[in-house]
Structure 1
Amino acid sequence: MFYEPSKGHGLPHDPFKSLVSPRPIGWISSVGKDGAVNLAPYSFFNALSGKPPLVWFSSEGQKDSATFASETREFVANLVGRDLAEKMNKSSVNAPRGVSEFAYAGLTPVPSRLVAPPRVAEAPAALECKVTEIFRPRGLSGQETGAIVVIGEVVGIHIDEAYLTDGLFDVVKAGNVSRLGYMDYSTIDAIFSMRRPRWED
């Protein structure tokens, strides 16, 4: 089949998010200028640069994570391991401002080293970030979308050493969780390796 997104697809549910998958989950913790703390998962999340290390998340609408990151210019991207999937999902609740998603989901906030937002103590790894850019992307019409993209430079990295194997972060042991679209998720339980070819060989 072929369809143009602007004209509809005729399927029971929009397949777009399922086609662009798996998408890693950025479990974003942030703090507002008034000291309020927020924790929320974002499947529009990824790394976009290694030098310097940059990550981004996109909020579909003005939600607390984007608002707080704009106010204080900091956030933490926590990794979701398989044993945290249910708590991650619980933290996505549309709780009113002032309700702690950490407490609601049964998670432990612990201080970060270089930024104000706390990190999730139970997470296999966490990236402390300082905001470099926030913008609203535009569509073909030139009009801004409802999405808010937040880019941050990673200034500190926490790794639970229980997830290191021979000095490498073990994604299978951590069971990194990703979003597949619809209500579906996946976890890493197997990997395979390939070396990039060199023309000279």
Structure 2
Amino acid sequence: MEYSPSDLTQRERYKVLTSFVLPRPIAWVTSTSADGVVNAAPFSFFNVFCEDPPLCMFAVNRRPDGREKDTLVNIQRLGEFVVNLTDEPLARAMHETSGDFPPEIGEPDYLGLKLAPSSKIAVPRLAQAPFAMECKTWKLIDVNGDRQLIMGEGIHFHIRDELWDREAMRVHMERYHPIGRMFADRYCRTDDRVVFPAAEGTKK
């Protein structure tokens, strides 16, 4: 089976990519409106790409009616946001925030999600998230006029205490149960893990 992307509709290309590029991490992004409403929305076209500086990127497309999503409007105005990660206890709430909420309704408030102040930016974080990264906008890239790639620089990290070994600088994997995005309404657990010994290159 082969396809040229130009022979597929946008929806068909989306379905091909999301069916095979998986599981994908989920950026559960909090942002704040001009009226002080805290928005929380999940994005699975997301990852981190660099550690110096710490850069992440996620894609925000337009709503079906052509309007810009609240997350993009808020980030364009304020230039800051928080990327919260999710785990199994928070997965249902994360999925619920993907619904179509009007701008005046904040998902955390509506769903009873606890917020906590950030340390270096005005946008709050989700208090129960296993990991949260306060971000300043690094770059916005327009794609065909119908979506934006938002690149953020992480300027402060929050880690749930019991998940982190401070001495080894390593996560306690037996305590961390992240959720990955598959496609449509399907997600996956990540507890079935495989460990390989360090690879050895061919010596010349």
* Aligned residue pairs, count: 193
The percent identity for this pair of structures is 32
Worse-superposed segment, 83-92 or 98-107? 98-107
| Compared CA separation, residues 196 and 152, structure 1 to 2 (3 A) | farther
Instruction: Output the CA distance in 2 between the equivalents of 1:169 and 1:161.
Output: 10
The TM-score with structure 1 as length reference comes to: 0.87
Unaligned runs of 5+ in 1: 138-143
CA-CA distance at 1:193 after TM superposition = 4.0
Match of 2:142 in 1: 136
RMSD: 2.1
Q: Does 1:186 align with 2:192?
A: no
Task: Tell me how far 1:195 sits from its aligned partner.
Answer: 2.5
Query: Would you identify which runs of 4 or more consecutive aligned residues in structure 1 move more than 4 Å?
Result: 198-201
For 2:4, the aligned partner's letter is E
Q: Work out the CA distance in 2 between the residues paired with 1:26 and 1:79.
A: 6
Structure 2 residue identity aligned to 1:18: S
Q: Residue type of the partner of 2:134?
A: E
Relative to the length of structure 2, the TM-score reads: 0.86
Question: Who is 2:4 aligned against?
Answer: 4
Deviations 1:66-125 (A, max 9, x none): 111111010000011011110001111111111120022221011000111111111111
Alignment correspondent of 1:151: 151
C-alpha change, 1:18 and 1:129, in structure 2 (3 Å) is same
Shift in CA distance, 196/52, structure 1 to aligned 2, threshold 3 Å? farther
Query: Which structure 2 residue ranges, 5 or more long, are not aligned?
Result: 63-67
Aligned ranges for residues 82-97 of structure 1 at < 5 Å?
A: 82-97=88-103
Matches within 5 A, 1:96-175: 96-137=102-143, 144-165=144-165, 167-175=169-177
